[in-house]
């Protein structure tokens, strides 16, 4: 399974880390809003998506996923809804 790091992201993000006890960090994609400008949130989201879709295994797939996150309509804001939108836009 592909696991990416900060170095694999191609767009510019803010890198503000959450504290260790932040209740917003649950360890799964859920109804929490995804901040598309926050690098740590994007990194977590992409790695979670890759874990679910293990056949995605190249940095080209990561770039496409990163671009789709940014292209998702602005009224789609939760991690779960963005994941669902990407799965519809990108037949997996």
Confidence bin at 23 (pLDDT 50/70/90):
very low
Confidence bin at 67 (pLDDT 50/70/90):
very high
CA 16 – CA 30 distance, rounded (Å): 20
Confidence bin at 39 (pLDDT 50/70/90):
very high
CB 43 within 8 A of CB 50: no
The encoded tokens of residue 78 equal: 């939760």
CB 58 within 8 A of CB 28: no
- For 27, counting Cβ atoms within 10 Å of its Cβ (0-12 exposed, 13-18 middle, 19+ buried), the class is exposed
CB 11 within 8 A of CB 66: yes
CA 69 – CA 9 distance, rounded (Å): 12
Q: What is the mean pLDDT of residues 48-52?
A: 94
Helix (H) or strand (E) holding 52: helix 39-52
The pLDDT of residue 30:
75
Considering the entire predicted model, what is its pTM? 0.86
């Amino acid at each position: 399974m592909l696991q990416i790091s900060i170095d694999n992201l191609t767009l510019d993000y803010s890198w503000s880390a959450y504290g260790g006890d932040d209740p917003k960090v649950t360890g799964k994609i859920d109804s929490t809003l995804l901040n598309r400008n926050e690098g740590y949130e994007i990194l977590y989201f992409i790695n979670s998506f890759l874990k679910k879709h293990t056949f995605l295994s190249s940095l080209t797939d990561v770039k496409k996923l990163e671009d789709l996150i940014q292209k998702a309509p602005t009224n789609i804001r939760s991690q779960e809804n963005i994941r669902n939108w990407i799965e519809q836009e990108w037949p997996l």
